[in-house]
Amino acid sequence: MPDSNGKDVNDMNIKNPNGKIVSIGELLVEFIPVEPRLRLYEEGSILKTASGSSGIFACANAKICDRAAFIGKIGPDPLSRFVYQIMEREGVDISRVVTGEGQIGLAFLENLENGRNFEYYRSNSVGSKFGPDDIDEDYIRNASAIHYSGMLLELSESMREACRKCVRIAREAGVMVSFDPNIRKEVMKSDDARKRLYEGIETADIIAPTLEEARFITGLEDEKEILKELHRRGPKVIALTRDKDGAVLSDGTKIVSAAGTGVHAVDPTGAGDTFASMLVYGVQEGWSLEKTAIFCNCAGGLAVTKQGSIGRALPTLEEVEKMAAEASFEVNVERWFQNGGRKEAGL
């Protein structure tokens, strides 16, 4: 929606366009059952993979550009080394990852009839000890974008303050801020947790909640009313992901709705992070909202077609381009007006 000066609020001058896209967070080791129906209490083979939402975002970014970076903390343990080596192999700049005492967090996955269940062993993990003093401030100032998730704000006080410091530095330097609410409702029961979530939204340029998360945040049901409310809070570009039903993107001047890709889902791990990675990249590249929506939809769709995520299922830009060129899913565009009305427009 245009502002009072007639300028579109989605007009974003990209600071440091050749700078890094820095993902902030915690790395994990994830254990996936080789046999999808295997339960955690049963004997059977499991697959060891590198994971963590922020790590997946960075590795997904490395598949589509050469500016992917990650900052966080790892330990001296062999599993920290395992994940570090994979991040390095995937092409992520990990030069600002710091080392501390402790064990990297672990996540065990099982597939239930009503969805996935993760059992985490990450209490007091080395990754959760990442703090403000671990941040290279110039590295953030010289970035083109930073990205983090709402879950980190509840992981530990030190991680929370590290994220806040990165956001403060980025905003002062004019660096783009991307925020994935990544809501865990079990920790959203306190007023303080909700305030921290709202702070993340209000200080971001780009957000990518699920539709369910967006309804939780706004208390609204209608997608377009949700978008209006979220834009009012500050973000210039918003994506509402709808699982198998695609996504809705808005940049304040128009809304693009992309239907589901229709792919056969094998493992949804990392789909949202892959989508968010493509969203930041598309905005940074100055793509139209329509192209951004299509590429995000395809990237997220491809990520679910294989088991695992980092080093296994994350798509390359060429794979996304091929799927986008062959895409048959419906894409619709509506234009916002300053008075809040909307006009239908075909793509």
68 pLDDT above the threshold of 50: yes
CATH number, domain at 110? 3.40.1190.20
Strands 247-250 and 237-241: antiparallel
Count other C-beta atoms under 10 Å from residue 105's C-beta.
26
Which pLDDT value is given to residue 308?
84
Tell me what percent of the residues of the chain surpass a pLDDT of 90. 78
pTM score: 0.92
Which structural domain range is residue 227 located in? 21-345
Q: How confident is the model at residue 272 (pLDDT cuts 50, 70, 90)?
A: very high
The answer to whether residue 176 is domain-embedded is yes
The answer to whether residue 332 is domain-embedded is yes
The answer to whether residue 301 is domain-embedded is yes
| Count of structural domains within the chain | 1
User: What ranges in 174-270 are assigned the alpha helix state H?
Assistant: 191-202, 211-218, 223-233
Which pLDDT value is given to residue 11?
55
Tell me what percent of the residues of the chain surpass a pLDDT of 70. 92
Chain segment 275-290, per-residue pLDDT in tens = 999 999 999 999 999 9
100 pLDDT above the threshold of 90: yes
Which pLDDT value is given to residue 230?
97
188 pLDDT above the threshold of 80: no
328 pLDDT above the threshold of 90: no
Residue 247, classed as helix, strand or coil, is strand
User: What's the rounded Cα separation, in Å, for the pair 55 and 70?
Assistant: 7
Which range of 68-72, 150-154, 214-218, 244-248 scores highest in mean pLDDT? It is 68-72
The answer to whether residue 327 is domain-embedded is yes
Mean pLDDT of the chain: 91
**Average pLDDT over every residue of 296-300:** 96
Chain segment 209-248, per-residue pLDDT in tens = 999 999 999 999 999 999 999 999 999 999 999 999 999 9
Count other C-beta atoms under 10 Å from residue 54's C-beta.
27
Which pLDDT value is given to residue 13?
73
Which pLDDT value is given to residue 187?
62
Give the CA-trace dihedral at 291, 293, 295, 301, to 10 degrees. -160
Q: Are 104 and 127 in contact (CB under 8 A)?
A: yes
Which pLDDT value is given to residue 271?
94
The answer to whether residue 203 is domain-embedded is yes
Chain segment 13-57, per-residue pLDDT in tens = 788 889 999 999 999 999 999 998 899 999 999 999 999 999 999
The answer to whether residue 67 is domain-embedded is yes
7 pLDDT above the threshold of 60: no
Chain segment 115-131, per-residue pLDDT in tens = 888 899 998 999 999 99
Chain segment 329-338, per-residue pLDDT in tens = 899 999 986 5
Q: Which residues touch 151 (CB under 8 Å, ≥6 apart)?
A: 53, 182, 183, 184
Q: How confident is the model at residue 347 (pLDDT cuts 50, 70, 90)?
A: very low
Q: Are 270 and 203 in contact (CB under 8 A)?
A: no
Identity of residue 200:
G
Residue 244, classed as helix, strand or coil, is helix
Count other C-beta atoms under 10 Å from residue 60's C-beta.
30
340 pLDDT above the threshold of 70: no
143 pLDDT above the threshold of 60: yes
The answer to whether residue 13 is domain-embedded is no
Q: Residue 220 corresponds to which tokens in the numbers above?
A: 């609204």
The answer to whether residue 164 is domain-embedded is yes
Q: Are 99 and 73 in contact (CB under 8 A)?
A: yes
User: What's the rounded Cα separation, in Å, for the pair 272 and 22?
Assistant: 17
